[in-house]
Amino acid sequence: MPKEAMQKRFEYPKSLPTVPVELQDLGQVLDWISVITDRDREQVLKLLKAEHMQPGSNVRRAFAKAKLKRYCWSEELDQFYDQTDSFLYELLIWNLNKLKRQMRRRIKRYLCCGYDRVLKILVTGDGLGIDALYLTQMGHEVTYFEVGSYSRAFAKKLFQQANADVTILTNPSQIKHEGYDMVLCLDVLEHVLEPEWMVSQLSNYLRYGGNLITHAPFYMIHKNYPTHLKGNRKYCGNLKLYEKHSLRLVDGAWSWCPLVFEKVGPDSKICRKDRFRRLVLQLTGLYILLGRISVLPFLWIHSMRRRKSRWFGER
């Protein structure tokens, strides 16, 4: 028998829900959060319903209670991320939203078209671990990194319930440089003080030829998202943020939700397909540039977050 025939063929699952089945059970989710936060189930349910009706409302209230200045980084903001449980509700409802589910489908489509082997993937800033679980269920070898203690606690319960073999890291020093075929970083860069430094780190984690898949709504300076830093609006529509760190744009959605970059060497050449795709995404980037001035052209996104969110168990 030929050696190639003896090798096990890698196949993606034909059907994979964009929301884990483990999150279809509202009672189970309430129990998890109740244990993690020490809140009673009725209070947890009330906070989840409030988030469903108005995305971002829990973080906004907790932010105001902490008396922090919106859209500005501070040491107190750094502590806020670790001390508040408000992101649990925001992230749960966001992951049920149509926009986030579409993002997962796009990532799956890209992987299915480009790879027929198991990848080593780092998912950083994944919060509740839903993206990490999704990629694991696709058959890849996934490492999850998150700094928020409440989110990590939820992710551990999710991985355990799904019987998913996900490596969990809690310290950035544990992440291997040039140790991954792909890095996934969604909705993180708009929160960090130095996005350029963060992108350089993400690039360092990749092997040459590996991909960074990212989404960063720098333009969303809105009252319901007070932890988005106003100083980062200058990166709206800015591909140089990535290019200066050996990352070349190769694919992505027209809305930049998400973008796909490849880590390249100094002698790498751009193929025609990449040139065309890059041109299309640069043109839509002109629209995203408007975010440097105002959030108004993007209020439809917040509206989609409110109108297109499912509730637990909805199909």
Q: Which CATH number do you get for residue 277? A: 3.40.50.150
DSSP tag of 71: T
**Is 64 a member of any domain?**
no
**Is 71 a member of any domain?**
no
**Is 61 a member of any domain?**
no
- Cβ contact 119:139 at 8 Å: no
The better pLDDT of the pair 17, 48 is held by 48
**Is 125 a member of any domain?**
yes
pLDDT in tens, 119-152: 999 999 999 999 999 999 999 999 999 988 999 9
Question: Into how many domains does the chain fold?
Answer: 1
Annotate 114-155 with three-state secondary structure: HCCCCCEEEEECCCCCHHHHHHHHCCCEEEEECCCHHHHHHH
**Is 14 a member of any domain?**
no
pTM for this structure?
0.93
Cis peptide, bond prior to residue 258, ω within 30 of zero? yes
Q: Which domain holds residue 133?
A: 117-298
Place 9 in a pLDDT band, splitting at 50, 70 and 90.
low
**Is 108 a member of any domain?**
no
Which pLDDT belongs to residue 272?
A: 59
**Is 293 a member of any domain?**
yes
**Is 141 a member of any domain?**
yes
